[in-house]
Structure 1
Amino acid sequence: MKYGYIRPIVSDQQCTQQVNELVIDTLFKETHGLARKRTELEHLLMTVQKDDELFIQNIAVLADSLQQLLDILRLAERDQFTIHFVDEQITNQTIQKASLLQSATFFADLQSKFLSHSSTFSLQAAKQQGKSIGRPRKTDDNLQLAFAMYDSKSYTLYDIKETTGISKSTLYRYLDDRATSLSDGKE
């Protein structure tokens, strides 16, 4: 049997570009891109048997971490089925034939893909739940006080931080924003 597995990923959140050119007997599709509750993947891994083939667009679709990938590769070896990674043009058998340098480079790139995928979908889920993302902005009154202290040239950056709670790097970022908005307003 030929199986396919798709799920939303950063570069294809609607799953329209995954394994659509392949002839597959059964396709398993997750409804979300989050790492938890991947019920279709679990169902697929319980279904696949010896000599079956599993087609995945890329490794980031299948796994959310190197440990999860390793677990799935061990399962594939034990149950004797083949996983084809379309984008990478490899299978679970050809991964083992690469040199150490090729493997290290490959897995370092893969780790950054996992992190990008995880953070993107976690942020989207938080936004959908109405949670605010990122650091809260400093209050305008506090920021104006920091600007006044800085502009007076009577206070050190340490004094400004102690009084307003705004760090040096944050103050400089706000000062840059202020300078940009002032120059945009003059043009």
Structure 2
Amino acid sequence: MKYGYKRPLVNDEESKFQLHDIPNMEVYTEQHPHMKKRHELDTLVMKLTKGDQLYVQNFVVLADSLTQFQDLLRVFERDEVTVTFIDEDIKNSDILTMKLIELIELLTDLQTKIKRHQSIFGVREAQKQGKVIGRPKKSDDNLNRAFIMYDSKEYTLQQIKDETGISKSTLYRYLDQFKHES
């Protein structure tokens, strides 16, 4: 039997661009991109039996970590299920016959994609909760005081830092930014 598994990805949040051109397939679609509570994947893995074929768009759809990827590959090998990763154009059985350097490249690529996926969706989730993303801004009062102290040339950078809490590198960054805006 042919099965497919989809879930939201960074460039496909509604899972619309996954698993095209594969006919007669029962598709399981996760409604969220997060690591936990992947009910559709759990249901699908329990349903798979010897000789079944599972299609996923890419590695990141299936696993959120190298450990999870390894665990799933072991289950599929034990149950004699063939998994086809469409974007990578590879099957789980091919992974076992790869050269070491090819395998390392594959795993490095997977790890990079996993981190990117988790980071982007983590930031989006934080923004939904109203959290400000990025470097915290220094207060205007402290910045103005630091600029005045710096311009007076009466204070060392250490004294400016001690009084305003603004480090040398931060002060220089704001000074450069101010010069470019002027």
Q: TM-score, normalised by structure 1?
A: 0.92
Deviations, residues 24-67 of structure 1 (Å, cap 9, x unaligned): 42111111111111111111111111110000000011111100
1:171 matched to 2:171? The reply is yes
1:105 alignment partner in structure 2: 105
Contact 1:28 1:41 in 2 (8 A): yes
- For structure 2, list consecutive stretches of 5 or more residues without a partner in the other structure: none
Q: Read off the aligned partner of 1:163 and give its amino acid letter.
A: E
Alignment RMSD: 1.2
1:128 alignment partner in structure 2: 128
Structure 2 Cα separation of the partners of residues 154 and 98 of structure 1: 66
How many residues are treated as equivalent by the alignment? Answer: 182
Structure 1 Cα separation of the partners of residues 175 and 22 of structure 2: 54
Secondary structure at 1:132 match in 2: coil
2:28 alignment partner in structure 1: 28
Contact 1:7 1:15 in 2 (8 A): yes
- For structure 1, list consecutive stretches of 5 or more residues without a partner in the other structure: 183-187
Secondary structure at 2:158 match in 1: helix
2:16 alignment partner in structure 1: 16
Structure 2 Cα separation of the partners of residues 79 and 14 of structure 1: 30
Structure 1 Cα separation of the partners of residues 37 and 173 of structure 2: 40
Q: Give the share of equivalent positions with the same residue, in percent.
A: 49
Deviations, residues 50-105 of structure 1 (Å, cap 9, x unaligned): 11000000001111110010010000011110110000010110011111111112
Q: TM-score, normalised by structure 2?
A: 0.95
Query: Greater CA deviation, 27-36 or 124-133?
Result: 124-133
Structure 1 Cα separation of the partners of residues 175 and 50 of structure 2: 64
CA deviation after TM superposition for structure 1 residue 170, in Å = 1.8
Structure 1 Cα separation of the partners of residues 110 and 170 of structure 2: 33
Deviations, residues 106-129 of structure 1 (Å, cap 9, x unaligned): 211211111110011111111112
Secondary structure at 2:96 match in 1: helix
Q: Read off the aligned partner of 2:118 and give its amino acid letter.
A: S
Structure 2 Cα separation of the partners of residues 85 and 24 of structure 1: 17
Shift >6 Å, 4+ stretches: none
Secondary structure at 2:5 match in 1: strand
